[in-house]
Structure 1
Amino acid sequence: MELLPSLLSTLRTVDPETVDQEYNAVRSQTSLLKRDLGLTTETGALKENIKKNRYKDILPYDQSRVVLSLMTSDSDHDYINASFIKGASSDRRYIGSQGPLSSTVTDFWRMIWQHDVKVIVMACREIEMGKKKCECYWSPVHQSAAFGPFTVYTQGETRPNEDLVVRALTVTYQQVTRSLVQYQFLSWPDHDVPYEAAGVLDLLERARNSQGTHTSPLLIHCSAGCGRTGVICALDYIHDLLVTKDQYQFIFTAVTFMFEQALQSSSQQLYSNLSELKKKPTRTPASSTKRQPQQTDMSDTYAVVNKPKQPHPPQPGPAYATVATPRTNSGSRSLPASHHYDNDSGGAPIYSTVRPRAKPSATPIYDIAAPTNQRQGEGPLAPSNNGEYQLLPAERLSQADDDYEDFSSSVTDMTNLCSPGGIGFNCRIQKPRGPRDPPAEWSRLER
């Protein structure tokens, strides 16, 4: 639409010579189109139809002429000097017709009834320059007139301006009545143009409003059905193109607006989610938090794991150590096949009792754990009659027995006792730093 002002400016300043050149070009293209499409006018040139033409040299094309199929008498034929004209949105938007003759008025109403015409645009007067240009095919106001089997009644007649007459007509055929509107433009002289365009544009606007949503063709006629009729069809055609372009452009505008709304909604949702994520979690007051009671059962926390079987050279130190074994459900004692855990018994943990050999004041630090494959009666721990293990002399421990370790009590560096390569993994677990208290049997020294 922004190009329209510049287009109008160009049209107002068009050189007449340029218009002549373009008109001649259009006529040449029309001749070529007629030849290429094989357009003919044979039907209108037939002897029985020649008298139905107002002008002998203005005939409808056979390919686009209106064929009358409604027969009201035995003398009716299918010919009328009228053609279908394609519109911007329909193949049969218009019917361009010559002004009816006295001998073709009935055919004219046959055509109107057959195609259910709702609007008629008449672009001529009945008499112009002293010559009959069109037969009157309506009746005086509030009167009826018969045209063959059709009865036409003029309900009313108005003059919105000096250029236009509007007539409300009804036509009855076989007891069926239909309504239609006729617009007669008075200020368009034959072989000439109106003195201004406003009157013609107003005529077309009124005709479109009366047509409304009806799909029937708009009937346009003048005297010959080509000059003024063609101009009105062209103007309405261009109007439809402009409206269609406006609607096409509106689609883009509406889609753009929808995209903007969708993006704005998405952005708001994104910012809302980010704001929720940035909020700090609400802390529960300390007073409302229920503390769990402390557990005193250490059997699920501490365990003694067997050392890897690697030989170590004997070192001076304590010679006696014993490790208590858990009692099974049946009451007998057994040694596990692989690892020994204090909490396997399901009860309170049982810890080893260490007895010094030589120096009463020395406190042995490490225990000698029972081997994983120890059998009863073998090794340094032998069962007694009451089912407990007894201490054996350190001299009975041979250096080939690599299932036991003997460490000296003279170790002073307590920070490196459990370092890799020192005593392996058979290390006494240090006292925990947590809130739990160690069991009473953590380490009982007997002197």
Structure 2
Amino acid sequence: MAARQVSFIVTDCHYLLTVDIRACSAAWRTNNVCSAEAGSLPSNVRKNRYKDVVAYDQTRVILSLLQEEGHGDYINGNFIRGADGSQAYIATQGPLPHTLLDFWRLVWEFGVKVILMACRETENGRKKCERYWPQEKKPLQIGPFCITLTKEAALNADVILRTLAVSFQKSQEFRSVHQLQYMSWPDRGVPSNPDTVLTMIEEARRLHGPSPRPLCVHCSAGCGRTGVLCTIDYVRQLLLTQTIPASFSLCDLVLEMRTQRPSFVQTEEQYGFLHHTVAQMLHSALQRTSPLCQNLKENCAPLYDDALSLRTSPALPASPCPPGRVLRSSSMPATQSLAMADTYAVVHRRGTPATAREKSERPAVETPLYSQVAPRAQQPGAHPEQAQGARPSSCPADQSPTGPDAYEDVADRAQTGGLGFNLRIGRPKGPRNPPAEWTRL
């Protein structure tokens, strides 16, 4: 994904863009680019919750189920094209008391499996949506539809997931419809955290599966909060299919959706939230797809397989280790199944320059800079405890793994500080002599 694909994150100005969006929408209405004649008919006007939010004729949902019984074809809802060009969403208003039947006609006729609801039934003392599902196990009868609540659970602190069993005209056919209701999204406002919204959308897509049927998305008017949800899911589908174009513009996408449903993404604050959420999604996608980030993830995989490995291991000493002892590295999680790798040399630190008197008192042969050693378990006459890695010392034994990158002390008199403390060095991949630089330490 090229960097230019997310350049709009830096250059977009929320205020100017929302002004442009409003201006374009007003021009469309003035020039009759988006007409709303069907919803303005006297027989349909009362089916609109708000007089300024009427379904566009070009994309409106036309109901045919039960028309023969005298029910009209109008509902305040529009099809919204998805990332693949299909009718991926039905954006509709929250049902009114006298449009409950029309709502369930829509759900049944178009095979809706998942409903996303972005409002409460009542907000700030005003009715925002008529309840179209039963609150208890007792079935709810709406015309020829029988709706039963089979399961209700909290998806997270903000979202409730309900499973409904729906039948039509007392038939034996029952369809399962899932409803996800966001409980804390204020009207004309935004959620406090995009993560809960993304979780809601991801769960909706999991429940929806590969079905070609549309998602039904609604709030009270079916435009502001509904528009945010549809746009986030649209961008998410682009990222999942890796089809986001180099010229991608969030402003252009919102404008395109506004040609299909009036006032889609209604306020500047909602556009800012949408902008922030899309930027977060793009950032996450870049982290997953970037070769550099992928290499870092692979190299660090052992550290993050288990989040508990980031905590301090209880096997490490509770108090500081006494001076003169070097501990293994604690950067790797504790594991008892790894044996200490073979070692081939120990580096000895050069002491401070000796005086002439000290030189005369020292033996003629000095300790070599390095010496050949073997693992404790292979040393002749090793004590059983030492063979298992135990140390005869007052310092508690470190139980960290002794893998090829781990450190282990080799002498109780090991000197600390500087670069020359006694360490066992991991065996190289092939035989070689110690580096010449060692003689210059």
TM-score by length of 1: 0.52
Counterpart in the other structure of 1:70: 65
1:118 has 2:143 as partner: no
Instruction: Provide the rounded CA distance (Å) in 2 between the counterparts of 1:6 and 1:90.
Output: 22
Cα shift at 1:91 = 2.8
Q: Equivalences for 1:44-123 in 2 at 5 Å? A: 44-71=39-66, 74-123=69-118
Cα shift at 1:97 = 0.3
Instruction: Provide the rounded CA distance (Å) in 1 between the counterparts of 2:128 and 2:68.
Output: 27
Cα shift at 1:22 = 1.2
Structure whose residues are more often helix by fraction: 2
Counterpart in the other structure of 1:10: 10
What SS does structure 1 have at the residue aligned with 2:38? coil
Instruction: Summarize deviations over 1:5-63 as a string: whole Å, max 9, x none.
Output: 9659738xx6xxx3111111222333445667732101111111111111011100111
1:241 has 2:227 as partner: no
Q: Equivalences for 1:297-308 in 2 at 5 Å? A: none
Instruction: Provide the rounded CA distance (Å) in 1 between the counterparts of 2:53 and 2:21.
Output: 18
Counterpart in the other structure of 2:311: none
Letter aligned with residue 217 of structure 1: P
Which runs of 5 or more structure 1 residues have no equivalent in the other structure? 250-447
Q: Using a 3 Å threshold, how does the CA distance of structure 1 residues 187 and 238 change in structure 2: closer, same or farther?
A: same
Instruction: Summarize deviations over 1:304-354 as a string: whole Å, max 9, x none.
Output: xxxxxxxxxxxxxxxxxxxxxxxxxxxxxxxxxxxxxxxxxxxxxxxxxxx
1:217 has 2:209 as partner: no
Instruction: Provide the rounded CA distance (Å) in 2 between the counterparts of 1:7 and 1:247.
Output: 13
Instruction: Provide the rounded CA distance (Å) in 2 between the counterparts of 1:57 and 1:7.
Output: 35
Instruction: Provide the rounded CA distance (Å) in 2 between the counterparts of 1:67 and 1:247.
Output: 31
Instruction: Provide the rounded CA distance (Å) in 1 between the counterparts of 2:226 and 2:93.
Output: 9
1:156 has 2:151 as partner: yes
State percent identity of aligned pairs. 42
Q: Using a 3 Å threshold, how does the CA distance of structure 1 residues 66 and 215 change in structure 2: closer, same or farther?
A: same
Q: Using a 3 Å threshold, how does the CA distance of structure 1 residues 143 and 3 change in structure 2: closer, same or farther?
A: farther
Instruction: Provide the rounded CA distance (Å) in 1 between the counterparts of 2:145 and 2:40.
Output: 28
1:189 has 2:186 as partner: yes
Instruction: Summarize deviations over 1:64-122 as a string: whole Å, max 9, x none.
Output: 10000001663311010000011111331100000000100000000100001000000
Instruction: Provide the rounded CA distance (Å) in 1 between the counterparts of 2:174 and 2:25.
Output: 41
Instruction: Provide the rounded CA distance (Å) in 2 between the counterparts of 1:38 and 1:94.
Output: 21
What SS does structure 2 have at the residue aligned with 1:44? helix
Instruction: Summarize deviations over 1:176-195 as a string: whole Å, max 9, x none.
Output: 21111000001100011111
1:147 has 2:149 as partner: no
Q: Using a 3 Å threshold, how does the CA distance of structure 1 residues 198 and 7 change in structure 2: closer, same or farther?
A: farther
Letter aligned with residue 117 of structure 2: M
Q: Who wins on radius of gyration, i.e. which is larger?
A: 1
Letter aligned with residue 10 of structure 2: T
Contact 1:141 1:156 in 2 (8 A): no
What SS does structure 1 have at the residue aligned with 2:91? strand
Instruction: Summarize deviations over 1:199-235 as a string: whole Å, max 9, x none.
Output: 1111101011111101100000000001000111111
Contact 2:117 2:182 in 1 (8 A): yes
Counterpart in the other structure of 2:35: 40
What SS does structure 2 have at the residue aligned with 1:103? helix
Cα shift at 1:243 = 1.9
Among candidates 149, 158, 172, match of residue 167 of structure 2: 172
Counterpart in the other structure of 2:196: 199
Cα shift at 1:240 = 1.3
Instruction: Provide the rounded CA distance (Å) in 1 between the counterparts of 2:49 and 2:192.
Output: 27
What SS does structure 2 have at the residue aligned with 1:104? helix
What SS does structure 1 have at the residue aligned with 2:226? helix
Among candidates 225, 229, 236, match of residue 228 of structure 1: 225
Contact 2:5 2:245 in 1 (8 A): no
Relative to structure 2, which stretch is displaced further, 20-29 or 96-105?
A: 20-29
Structure with the bigger RCO (C-alpha within 8 Å, sep 6+) is 2
Counterpart in the other structure of 1:27: 22
Q: Using a 3 Å threshold, how does the CA distance of structure 1 residues 130 and 58 change in structure 2: closer, same or farther?
A: same
